[in-house]
Chains A and B, each alone.
Chain A
């Protein structure tokens, strides 16, 4: 029976191949969307790793995560420098990196931090920041830019930039008296680091020497020379926006979180980045579901195409059915024949589609990682992917039933009469 079906398919190989190809492409899309979805979720979830707690002014965990990590929105309040120093001096602390936000450069956020950022910021399971060119800032007016900033604005090493006060493109709010030199360019990470400009905390303080309460004090006329001549202590920040904290032992995480949340001198919050990330993903995950729905629609379209193809050939195959019928095949054999046929086509299509997907991943994974920061892994299909595979096969079988039932009615009506 199987041999009969295979030979019959071989006889109609062009249409059979086209059906297989249609299913293959749709399965590639379905599994591809699934892979991208998982990859996007994973790389989102690993936007920041190795950081045990993020400390900021009292706020909801998603809000704190949004401005401290994603640089979206603004902090409602700051952490006083004294509080920061006190927290940093706690024995549980392994390392602490300050973040000072609020300035921008041509739409990209400026992050005031210290050199510890480049060693302690980790993403995607302990992957550290790497330099495509240059090095961390060594001079006060050095800046380190993310890969996307460099690409979008065409900056190279030693390019000169001026920062803008605030995050909008206000004219006249430029800190143009104190230009920065680009000392380092980071490799792409697929995290918000790509879109940030990093400078030292004293530099942030310096460019705000002539600013008070959001407006420039006229006539102060701060220059680079004056800043360099100043006592470093006077460039100590009065406040920062947030801090990334690594603890000596993860066991102390909750204890330390309670300590920060209960800090008496000012209202502070400490959040666990992993928990906040997954809560944030649950909020924005609706897009992922829409993407999945589109992929399922594509598969349904392909299966509809399969039904159409088999259905369309039924008339010209009526003779084939009648010959089989006259030679002992029952109408059930005819149904089995057509359902098996669509099962073979669907299975071949699904296998081919999976192979195409893996081929594409193999070819495009490095481009994807560089371009979108999405890591596509060449792993065995996940349980969910297997489920999709089985569902597609099941749908193919069901689709095969439609023409099969028509052929069943044909063969009952035709009997041994050959109509062609």
Chain B
């Protein structure tokens, strides 16, 4: 089990029910602890791929295996639990619930995963430690999330993705709302944190400049074929 890659995709095909967009992935692998940058223009299917890996979407054919577990073998409830246990997610923006405090936002994943709750130990101490390491000052922890700058919010989102040590961090353009300096700092912190927890990081972006924070950079077009209306994946 431990030798299984974090993510392995073979011959997966997916199309949105409206037939507007389809994606086919012949082969894709993310090793454990690997930091991988997936480059692609907007609308190229990056988010769809993340949704497939996270189990939010199910492929119409092919196999997606996460940490040795074939997602197709899991029922809806088991899949929800598996995701809660093993994935940390960072969005492009609007990551936080504005009415919760910074600390409460970080603690959200622990509400839904017992495994991560156990791994976090003392939840509050763990959240505060993560926040401090990600450079969110102590005096902000009890503030409503809505009061933070976008840069601070992204770092809170990173702390939340990592609390309870999930094995895989999915990040969907987390730096696109940040300026160059802040993006660099954010990725430094993300890199350091994933290194210390051993989590694999899969980040999708259209920004080539962030490439040096990653072990490997691949272009989406090299692993996936995407298509517009009436694609083969939809029909076949």
Contact = CB atoms under 8 A, between A and B. Distances in A.
Query: A and B: real partners?
Result: yes
Contacts of A420: 94
B50 interface: yes
B83 A328 contact: yes
Contact of A331 (B80, B81, B100, B116): B80
Given A4-B100, A7-B99, A326 B47 contact: no
Contacts of A8: 97, 99
Contact of B56 (A4, A11, A319, A416): A416
Most chain A CB neighbours (cut-off 10 Å) among B99, B104, B170: B99
Interface stretch (B28-36, B64-72, B105-113, B177-185): B105-113
Nearest to B164: A328
Contacts of B214: none
Interface string B78-103: 00110111000101101111111000
A414 B84 CA distance: 17
B112 A11 contact: no
Contact of B97 (A320, A332, A416): A320
B57 interface: yes
Contact of A330 (B96, B97, B112, B116): B112
Given A7-B99, A416-B50, A327 B80 contact: no
B77 interface: yes
A8 B51 CA distance: 26
B91 A418 contact: yes
Contacts of A187: none
Most chain B CB neighbours (cut-off 10 Å) among A1, A7, A414: A7
A40 interface: no
B164 to A, nearest CB: 10
A15 to B, nearest CB: 14
Given A4-B100, A415-B51, A417-B47, A326 B111 contact: no
B174 interface: no
B160 interface: yes
B57 to A, nearest CB: 6
Contacts of A333: 112
Q: How large is the interface on B (under 10, 10 to 19, 20 to 34, 35 or more residues)?
A: 20 to 34
Nearest to B54: A416
A327 B112 contact: yes
A300 interface: no
A10 interface: yes
A239 interface: no
B76 to A, nearest CB: 8
Nearest to B116: A328
Q: How large is the interface on A (under 10, 10 to 19, 20 to 34, 35 or more residues)?
A: 20 to 34
Nearest to B98: A11
B51 A328 contact: no
Nearest to B79: A330
A415 B57 contact: yes
A157 interface: no
A329 interface: yes
A327 B51 CA distance: 13
Contacts of A418: 91-92, 94
A416 B89 contact: yes
A59 interface: no
Contacts of A416: 50-51, 54, 56, 89, 91, 170, 172
Interface in A289-345: 319-320, 323-333
Interface in A385-419: 414-418
Interface string B33-61: 00000000000000100110010110000
Nearest to A8: B99
A8 B96 CA distance: 12
Contacts of A330: 76-77, 80-81, 84, 112
14 contacts: A4-B100, A7-B100, A7-B104, A319-B94, A324-B108, A326-B54, A328-B111, A329-B112, A330-B76, A331-B80, A415-B57, A416-B51, A416-B170, A418-B94
Given A328-B112, A328-B116, A420-B94, 6 more contacts: A7-B99, A10-B99, A327-B109, A328-B111, A330-B112, A418-B91
